[in-house]
Structure 1
Amino acid sequence: MNKKLKQKTTAIIIFSLVTILAIIPFFHTEEPPAKAVEPSGKLSSEISKLLANETVLDGALAGVSIRSAKDGRLLYEHIGDTRLQPASVLKMFTAAAAFSVLGEEYRFTTEVLADGKIDGGTLAGDLYLKGMGDPTLLPADFDEMAKRLKSKGIKEVAGDLVADDSWYDDVRYSEDLTWNDEHQYYGAQVSALTASPNQDYDAGTVIVNILPGKKGKAANLLLEPETDYVKILNETVTVDSEGEHDIIIEREHGSNSISVRGTIPVSAHKAREWVAVWEPSLYAGSLFKKSLEDHGIKVVGKIIKGRATETMTRIVSHKSMPLADLMIPFMKLSNNGHAEVLVKEMGKVVQGEGSWEKGLEVMDAELSRIGIDTSQLVLRDGSGISHANLIPANEISKLLYLVQSEKWSPAFQHSLPVAGDELRMAGGTMRNRLKEEHLKDRVSAKTGTLTGVSTLAGYVKTASGDTLIFSIMLNNLLDDREGRKVEDQIVRILAR
């Protein structure tokens, strides 16, 4: 090849390469957005048809992500990378991070300390009740601690009973909790020292039991546990059997004055309402004082807030159930308070500060370590009660795939509600859903509900014996209850 021809050929090649490189970006920018992963087959077409035809989804957003539990392969998605409100499905991320950071055997501690000497059965000083996050303390636990103090010869506390909740910061509500939720059980204040009325472990609440009285008279109101920490204003009327059952319960902001008003038929069964108290650390202190008095220990002083020091004498301590057991009421019953306690506890253990800010930082780091793309998440709390929380459906299904390789995976999966199982601590929030016999023990999933939001994510065993992971996020609904029907229908399609 002569020199002139060679130069000409080289010029043509260079021109061609430059032209191709110039064209590639042009075609790239003109490509349509990535389509949803939709493998051929009935599964894809049925789900797509359902999403297209359900009138409840008109004007709503539906994020759906389906994966193989075996290899994590994405089998179907519909706007799976769009961030949507997760509601209580977010609790799965909190649970995973807590298992990873704290461990299955982690227990919360509550201590009783003395500031003064014990002489002749009298504590010449103050008695401190120091909470360190336990959301499962019951009146029975205070009784047990009082019994142990009695066995050590204490008959009187000359000083005050001091409630110490300094293990966490003093911020009681998560950032986006709405004002009208603060008296609801799911909006109870978060404190390092708190108490629960029963084994649902709704910390920081009392139960108001409402029974009909005589016709024309007020209803009978009973508190559980018995406590004078709250004051009840009874404005109810018992009406005849055909009358309306309409009871409204509210707690006045900044106080423990609870008003109960409305009507109850004379033939009505007992009604129960959980009400969050104001300042749960003093509530715990009042229950402990009652236990002390019931066991013959007199407290001369008042119940006040304060902080114990390292120089004080530790008299008794109480350990909570292990974290793996705590996860059952937390996840099965979707307990908001437990979620926020776990966030603060992670912050305390790892960064030395029991706050939402530090806890969410720890949670973010741990989820990233597990394999979640936390740059796609907006986390404002641990429970999902905030409408500002945002997670893509694909990251939820990814979490459910990734946790399978963690050593705590059996405890995590055991904590999920089992569809159609009527036992409260088995079926949880799924006990009245997907109750068909052929679906028995085949669906375990976490529910989520906010105004205009319904979500469901978990595992389903198919008829062929495989396990699929699903994440369904319905946002901007006019009726979130109707959204559950759509979720259940998708799960039925997957089960087939």
Structure 2
Amino acid sequence: MLKKFTSLLATCMVVFSLSGVQISVEATASPQIEKLDQSIQRIVKDEIENADVSIAIRDEEGRIIYDLNGNRKQKPASNMKLLTSAAALEELGEDYRFQTNIYTTGNVKKGILYGDLYLQGTGDPTLTIKDFDQFAHFLAQSGLKKIKGRIVADDYWFDQDLLTPDIQKDDESYYYAAPVTALTMSPDSDYDAGSIIVEAIGKKVGEKPYMKITPELGELIIENKAKTVGSDEYRTIKIEREYRTNKIVVSGNLPLGQNWREWITVQNPTKHTMTLWKHSLKKNNIQYVKDQFYREKTPKNARLMIQKQSIPLAELMIPYMKLSNNSIANILVKTMGKLRMGQGSTKAGLSVLKQYAFSRQLDIDHWLFEDGSGMSHHNRVSSVLLTQLLYSIQAEKQWYGTFFNSLPVAGYSDRMIGGSLKNRLKTSITKGKVFAKTGAIDGVNTLSGYLIGNSGKMYIFSVLVQNQKNTIPTIDEIVEVMVEKL
């Protein structure tokens, strides 16, 4: 997908000069900007007058040409990922790959492993049940038939604080608030680590819907209290995991012939992963005698049997940023903490983010954050700071192209190009001319990135809106005016 989008990048991206470190913060009082201001002020007054709004625009040289409350600190939502992504590309590098290793402390004699089998993870969000099936198939083909020792989880690469701060109780069921451990799995190629796909299918009126689970239940159980109703009745079905339990409850009505799908989090990714690993061993006729859950560090004298490397970070950036994947963001934060600070924790990772922001001359005293995904309502940043970040990283010749390619492109229906903007800004004025990160949490919508004005010049912009719901149409109207007037 990176190669597919290269031509679009080449035609649309303008290389900005970074000849001056100091950036002017005074708006240019030109007729063009005055008309832009009049249009934006009218939209704000008519549609979001009671909301908190912060807007900033920079030109090719990084000068602020327009701002409306540009220095007001607001909730960035997933615009926080702009900083997380830049720091990850700098600290880890485009070629960084997560590793999953299988070690043993014993030897195989006549098909029997006399010793323990360790599954060691480093947070790979791309690990799937197919990988485990391939691991088990390799072991079976190598002659392994039975494991006499333990099957052990080594997830010590990360700490045991599974959730980032300020995750709301009602969000814990769903993939965007998934817990993070160093041994996690994803149900599909979107790489929503720490979740499974639960799908209800209405097949016969009066009966419970048929349930389809991807990849498998693992440690979870399902209580199906839902009912299939007539095709002309309302859908009221709900799928959620009971708070801090392994039970998924399906309730409500599902019309005949319809289906309903949710990405539901697992309570503990490590335990879930180990259960599915054992399932794969069984499917490949490898028996084991100890079924308990064991967790400890891999001994230094253990022998490596199998290693799986993930796709490189450059490739992972596409589903991560296009689809605004919170799990990947949180994993990247802990990974940076582990490699730079020696601690695989959110706290350590955020220290790395702050150091990176400081190295780019960003005023970190005015950028408050407690996660890398943007889920927390305690995160704060201004539109001026976000545009400064987006301006400064253009000097990163090694990875800026990868960063730019990862941004959603307005109006492109291919979800790995358009991403979270595939159904937004689709008019002829804006389609293919806005490259930006979306953001949304309760009462907050944001959009920050790059746009090509009617002049053909590239601009950097940020629009942050909070304390009002359903403001996406208004933000898009503001951005359309920017493209039209600049």
Instruction: Tell me how large the CA RMSD over aligned residues is.
Output: 1.6
More displaced, 35-44 or 197-206?
35-44
Aligned mate of 1:296, from 250, 266, 285: 285
Aligned: 1:284 with 2:258 = no
The whole-number CA distance in structure 2 between the counterparts of 1:166 and 1:267 is: 45
Equivalences for residues 13-52 of structure 1 within 5 A = 37=27, 39-52=29-42
TM-aligned CA deviation for residue 198 of structure 1: 0.6
| C-alpha contact 1:285 1:303 (8 A) present in aligned 2 | no
Aligned: 1:166 with 2:152 = no
The whole-number CA distance in structure 1 between the counterparts of 2:277 and 2:417 is: 31
Other-structure match for 1:484: 472
The whole-number CA distance in structure 2 between the counterparts of 1:137 and 1:131 is: 10
The whole-number CA distance in structure 2 between the counterparts of 1:278 and 1:410 is: 37
Distance change in 2, residues 1:247/1:43 (3 Å): farther
| C-alpha contact 1:458 1:469 (8 A) present in aligned 2 | yes
The whole-number CA distance in structure 1 between the counterparts of 2:437 and 2:43 is: 25
Other-structure match for 1:28: none
Other-structure match for 2:390: 400
Whichever residue aligns with residue 298 of structure 1, its letter is Q
TM-aligned CA deviation for residue 164 of structure 1: 1.5
Give CA deviations for 1:30-60 in whole Å, capped at 9, x if unaligned: xxxx997252224443344433444431221
Distance change in 2, residues 1:344/1:228 (3 Å): closer
Structure with greater helix percent: 1
Segments of 5+ residues of structure 1 without an aligned counterpart are 1-33
| C-alpha contact 2:25 2:64 (8 A) present in aligned 1 | no
Equivalences for residues 66-465 of structure 1 within 5 A = 66-68=57-59, 70-268=60-258, 270-307=259-296, 308-406=298-396, 407-465=398-456
| 1:140 aligned counterpart, secondary structure | helix
More displaced, 82-91 or 365-374?
365-374
| C-alpha contact 1:47 1:493 (8 A) present in aligned 2 | no
Other-structure match for 1:64: 55
Whichever residue aligns with residue 304 of structure 1, its letter is F
Give CA deviations for 1:176-225 in whole Å, capped at 9, x if unaligned: 11122111111110111100001111101111111102111111111011
TM-aligned CA deviation for residue 472 of structure 1: 0.3
| C-alpha contact 2:429 2:483 (8 A) present in aligned 1 | no
Give CA deviations for 1:281-340 in whole Å, capped at 9, x if unaligned: 011111211222222212221151312121111111110110111111111111111111
The whole-number CA distance in structure 2 between the counterparts of 1:46 and 1:371 is: 29
The whole-number CA distance in structure 2 between the counterparts of 1:43 and 1:235 is: 59
Q: Number of paired residues?
A: 458
The whole-number CA distance in structure 2 between the counterparts of 1:487 and 1:462 is: 16
More displaced, 377-386 or 249-258?
249-258
TM-aligned CA deviation for residue 115 of structure 1: 2.4
More displaced, 403-412 or 156-165?
156-165
The whole-number CA distance in structure 2 between the counterparts of 1:133 and 1:35 is: 41
TM-score, normalised with respect to structure 1: 0.89
Distance change in 2, residues 1:52/1:438 (3 Å): closer
Whichever residue aligns with residue 376 of structure 1, its letter is H
The whole-number CA distance in structure 2 between the counterparts of 1:47 and 1:316 is: 60
Other-structure match for 2:10: none
Runs of 4+ in 1 over 4 A off after TM superposition: none
TM-aligned CA deviation for residue 162 of structure 1: 1.3
The whole-number CA distance in structure 1 between the counterparts of 2:134 and 2:37 is: 55
TM-score, normalised with respect to structure 2: 0.91
Larger radius of gyration: 1
Distance change in 2, residues 1:35/1:133 (3 Å): closer
| C-alpha contact 1:38 1:77 (8 A) present in aligned 2 | no
Give CA deviations for 1:234-254 in whole Å, capped at 9, x if unaligned: 111111121111111121233
| 1:285 aligned counterpart, secondary structure | helix
| 2:440 aligned counterpart, secondary structure | strand
Distance change in 2, residues 1:157/1:320 (3 Å): same
More displaced, 186-195 or 44-53?
44-53
More displaced, 438-447 or 237-246?
438-447
| C-alpha contact 2:175 2:265 (8 A) present in aligned 1 | yes
Aligned mate of 1:469, from 449, 454, 460: 460
| C-alpha contact 2:201 2:257 (8 A) present in aligned 1 | no
| 2:117 aligned counterpart, secondary structure | strand
The whole-number CA distance in structure 2 between the counterparts of 1:378 and 1:155 is: 54
The whole-number CA distance in structure 1 between the counterparts of 2:458 and 2:128 is: 39
The whole-number CA distance in structure 2 between the counterparts of 1:485 and 1:36 is: 29
TM-aligned CA deviation for residue 438 of structure 1: 4.3
The whole-number CA distance in structure 1 between the counterparts of 2:408 and 2:373 is: 16
TM-aligned CA deviation for residue 486 of structure 1: 1.8
| C-alpha contact 2:337 2:352 (8 A) present in aligned 1 | yes
| 1:437 aligned counterpart, secondary structure | coil
| C-alpha contact 1:444 1:458 (8 A) present in aligned 2 | yes
Whichever residue aligns with residue 455 of structure 1, its letter is T
| C-alpha contact 1:240 1:266 (8 A) present in aligned 2 | yes
Give CA deviations for 1:140-193 in whole Å, capped at 9, x if unaligned: 111222222223321211123212111111101111111221111111101111
The whole-number CA distance in structure 1 between the counterparts of 2:47 and 2:113 is: 65
TM-aligned CA deviation for residue 368 of structure 1: 1.4
